[in-house]
Amino acid sequence: MSNENSPIGGQQSTSVQLKKATLRSSRTATSIDITSVVLELSMYENLARPFITGYLALTDSERIIENFDIQGAEEIEIIFKRSTEKSSAKEIRQNWIIQKIEAEHNVQEFTNVVVLRLIDKESFRSGLKNVNKCLYGQPWKIIDQILVEYLNRDDLRTSADLNNSESMKVIVPNMTPIEATQWIRNRSLNQNGYPFYFYKSATTGEYFFADLETLISSPVINENLPLSPNQSAGSSESKSTSSTIYEMEQNDVDDLYSLIRSGIIGSENKYYDVTRGDFEIVDFNVNNDLLVELQSLNTRQEKPLLDGRLAFDDVAISNYKAKSISQISGARVFEDVKSYDETQDIGDSRKKIKAHAIRELMLKTPLSIMVEGDRWIHGDNHYGVGNNIKILVRSKADDPENPSVDRKQSGDYLIITAKYVLDLTQGKVGATFKCAKFGNYQNSAYNVGGGGR
């Protein structure tokens, strides 16, 4: 990917401008311009949530909160744009609803700083509606139908049309539209047993429904511009070929025992068919049923996070049935199609176990990083959750003549949460990403321009 097309290209301006901020209320049919009093906007994306949340901080010396009589449900429109020579950069326009006044602090005798908790407009609209009906089709089509019918959105972007999951018939049990889409997502698997994620972009407002297999297999968006926490990444020599990680943190990493006890490594699973009074047993071995396949999704990251040869008392830990799990599986609820949680054979049941295992494995080696955020908000595309990024961390015992990467911390990471903080008084943006990876680099060579391969 060239510097021009990369979200974190070096040599680009790093400021953001607030174009306009408007506060509106349907109660009074009036609006006021609050551009000059906005201090900070925070936005949150999550791979597991199809809605955006945020916080807006503003100074209130003109009695805005009192005179406008903010009660919740007022609308705030915000327009901002990155200041850059990048030709494809666009204005970002957002419509928020005030959920509540989070806090109000007195900073001077007649001046307060007010923090408003925000949710995106479609999420608020969803909270006003109810879905209680029978729906039929592939999961992505059901979700698309809900978006069109209840949220007036017909632009769902999905990988499901290529990696189809089987059709189902469901009776949505008295949920909001957003809750219903998440409920459907929870039962959505692609043809190889990988779960789907349904999420929304904070910068483009797009909805995505993508299977994890496709996400893992997708190329990194910064191939030739890796993120690095090393001082060399911020030097004048390498600014055009890397971007600095200002803070990096890993907590609760490689907790294999917890995975063992939850049945992710090896387990015996019993699925009871209440209609026949029978059950089937499905044994799960993470090495044979998942890790071998995961290695093929990223050819340069084929070293697994868990070595299948790891043994205890001369027995591979994946061969232990550390947990016995029993579940009731719906069967033959409808004559012509599967119900919500129905499986037809052992293969279907194994896919469900596999999907649960990979969701848990995603959190085995999480990494949180803080980077320069405005380079990710061009407005021309979505660069946040659901994208893969390359991170290179120099080995602690490095030879300057032959640099190498720390393969435990380096890697191609999937962004699973993103927080953007726009300091609109200074025109600066910070971004904090929580990332997950599914394997380690085979090669330890450090190459800023080309990566560790």
pLDDT in tens, 140-191: 999 999 999 999 999 999 987 766 667 889 999 899 999 999 999 999 999 8
Contact 112, 44 (CB under 8 A): no
Q: Cα-flanking dihedrals φ and ψ of residue 65, to 5°?
A: -60, -40
For residues 435 and 405, give the distance between their C-alpha atoms in angstroms, rounded to a whole number: 18
DSSP label at residue 220 = P
| Res 224: pLDDT | 86
373: pLDDT strictly greater than 80: yes
**More confident position, 329 or 248:** 248
Q: How far apart are CA 188 and CA 141, in angstroms?
A: 11
Residue 426 burial (C-beta neighbours within 10 Å; 0-12, 13-18, 19+): exposed
What is the pLDDT confidence band of residue 86, given thresholds at 50, 70 and 90? confident
The residue count for the chain: 453
Work out the mean pLDDT of the chain and round it to a whole number.
86
- pLDDT value at 415 more than 60: yes
118-152 in b/e burial notation, b at 16+ Cβ within 10 A? bbbbbbbbbbeeebeeebebbbbbbbbebbeebbe
Which contacts qualify for 29-37: CB closer than 8 Å, 24 or more apart? 32/64, 32/68, 34/58, 34/64, 34/76, 37/61, 37/62, 37/64
**What whole-number distance in Å separates Cα of residue 386 and Cα of residue 198?**
10
SS3 at position 361: helix
The terminus-to-terminus CA distance of the chain in angstroms comes to 16
262 vs 342, residue with greater confidence: 262
pLDDT at 6: 61
Distance CA 216, CA 142 (A): 24
Quickly state the pLDDT bin for 237 (edges 50, 70, 90).
Answer: very low
The pLDDT of residue 26 is: 84
Q: Is 217 a residue whose pLDDT tops 90?
A: yes
Which H or E run includes 175?
none
pLDDT > 70? residue 276: yes
